[in-house]
Structure formats: C-alpha cells, structure tokens
Amino acid sequence: MTTYLIGAAVLLAGLAPMMIFAVRAKPASGLVALNVGGTIATVVLVLLSAGTDREPFFDLAIVSALLSFAGGLAYARFLERWL
Amino acid sequence: MVTLVLVAFGVAFLLTSVLGVLAPGDAYDRLHFSAPGAIFGPLLIALAVVIDFGFFSQAGLKTMLTTVLILALNPVIVHSTARAARIRERGELDYDPEPTA
C-alpha cells in the first residue's frame, strides 16, 4: 500500500509545474498543461484511494476523469475565438 | 513487487509527459508529449490496482472504468485543443473536406 502513496506523492510534485505553466504560458499551450494536469489529478486520486485502502473513494477518480474532460472541452471551445 | 514496478513505470510515463509539456515548442509539440502520460500512465497503474485488489472488486472495476474513460476521452480533448490552436492561429479552421485534386 505504501507504494501507491509514494507514487501519489511523486505525481503531486509533477502536478505543481503544470499548474504554474497553465497560468503563465500562451492560452493553447496552457490548455495542454491543464489537460495533462487533469489526467495527473485523476491518477493521483486512484493512487490515494488504493494507498489508503478505501474502495468507495475510487468514485472521486471517476468524477474527476469526467469533469476534467468536460472542463477541457469547454475551454477548448471558448479558446477558438472568444478568449 | 509487480505492483511496485507497474506503479513506478506509470508514474514515470506521466512525469515524462510533464517534462515534454514544459519543454520548448508550440502547442502541437506539447500535445504530442501529452500522449504517453495519458495512455500508459493510467493503464499501468490500473493494472497494478487490478493485480492487488482483484478485477471484480469495487476498486478494480472502478479503476478500470476510470482508465477506460481517460483512454476514450483524451483523444477528443487532444483533437479539440489542436483545433482551437489552429483557429486561434489562422482566424478560421481552413479545412477543405473535398480537396480539388
């Protein structure tokens, strides 16, 4: 179980640069960083649920996967012309 | 031990994607680098969870669902991001479905 927690900690260290990059880069590149960050956040939720051995918490990862997709799609649509 | 290796490789793929996105280049280059993390990262980690918890456990099924969602939805996001980048660059999509040869 510790394996999962260490993996989650390492991945969280990779999430921080994506957040900073999404704020500072040009909009299109920032959107890519946002999507990669969403994937990382979803995987971190899976790892934390597995690491703490609480099976209902896996629902959070499913919701995160769906919502980061919806958010990225909305951003992409608005970035075409209106932002 | 198998779990350790799978989680390590999954995390390594995701961190490779992070490095690729941070590397210099335009949005299209960054989109390419986002692929390995979005495919192999979740896949390997889901494999580790399924091996540990069993396929038909709550954890195994939910992890598989999460991975299938990421694998199915990520290409859509990549496509729409590339489309948005192109429209921002040119002011239009400039796409000709029936090229006049």
d(CA B96, CA B66): 36
Half-sphere exposure of B29 (CA within 13 A, CB side): 8
What's the angle, vertex CA A16, arms to CA A4 and CA A29, rounded to 5? 120
- Establish if B85 belongs to a structural domain: yes
Q: For the segment B3-25, what is each residue's pLDDT rounded down to a tens digit?
A: 899 999 999 999 999 999 998 88
Substitution target from A23, A39, A78, A79 for chain B, most B beta carbons within 10 A: A39
Nearest by CB to B66, from A21, A28, A42: name it: A42
- Establish if B98 belongs to a structural domain: no
Least confidently predicted of A41-45, A73-77, B43-47, B88-92: B88-92
d(CA B52, CA B4): 11
- Establish if B53 belongs to a structural domain: yes
Higher pLDDT, B52 or B92: B52
* Pairwise CB contact (< 8 Å): B70 & A65: yes
In this prediction the ipTM stands at 0.89
- Establish if B47 belongs to a structural domain: yes
Nearest by CB to B81, from A26, A31, A66: name it: A31
* Pairwise CB contact (< 8 Å): B27 & A39: no
pLDDT category, B100, cuts 50, 70, 90?
Answer: low
Task: Return the closest-CA partner of residue B83 out of B74, B71, B92, B70.
Answer: B92
Residues 11-30, chain B: which have Cβ within 8 Å of A?
A: 11, 14-15, 17-18, 21-22, 26-27, 30
The predicted model gives A5-22 an average pLDDT of: 93
Q: For the segment A46-61, what is each residue's pLDDT rounded down to a tens digit?
A: 999 999 988 889 999 9
Q: Total structural domains in chain B?
A: 1
Parse chain A into domains and list their residue ranges: 2-81
- Establish if B95 belongs to a structural domain: no
Containing structural domain, residue B18: 2-90
Q: What is the predicted pLDDT for the residue at B94?
A: 73
Q: Which amino acid is at A52?
A: T
- Establish if B74 belongs to a structural domain: yes
